[in-house]
Amino acid sequence: MPEQKIDRTKDLDVTSVTYLLFAVNVALEKDDWKKITFDDVYGHLDSGDLIPFLDAHLKSIDLSLFGPDEPQGRLLLAALRHVAPWFQERESRKTGVEKSGVCLVIAWIGEVIQKGQWQLDRSFYDDEPENLIDFPRHQ
């Protein structure tokens, strides 16, 4: 059976999700991640610049592939926004994580991978409040 190709401008590729996981994992080798809080990751998720924020603060692997102008960046942000509410105000109970924003992002990535929902439901990308998705577009 031939491998199904995806349109990376419209569909989230699981390799993008796992790349972010590897990048965050590398950061655990350093101390940079310890300063990132729940409030940091939720705030930057809401403002739409979580990936550039992590890229600037973790200094692990280049995450510019997932910037706000990149299709996979927009889709990855939508995926993380989709799963984050399942954890909010219940982080410790759901994940065992009590304060690390980076560990919370790892939990979100795991949930995105586990659900595989981007493959099942196109509304996965569209079910967010309008004010949360305001990405600059190339003309």
Greatest Cα pair distance, the chain, in angstroms, is: 47
Q: Please report, in tens digits, the pLDDT of each residue of the chain (139 residues total).
A: 556 666 666 777 787 888 888 777 777 767 767 889 999 999 999 999 998 898 888 876 778 778 778 888 888 888 899 889 989 998 888 888 888 898 999 999 888 888 775 565 555 555 443 433 333 333 3
Domain locations in the chain as residue ranges: 14-132
**What pLDDT is recorded for position 136?**
31
Task: Identify the three-state secondary structure at position 109.
Answer: helix
**What pLDDT is recorded for position 2?**
59
pTM over 0.85, yes/no: no
**What pLDDT is recorded for position 50?**
92
Sorted by sequence, the CB contacts under 8 Å of residue 37 that are 6+ apart come out as 99, 100, 101
Q: Measured between alpha carbons, how far is 20 from 1 in angstroms, rounded to an integer?
A: 29
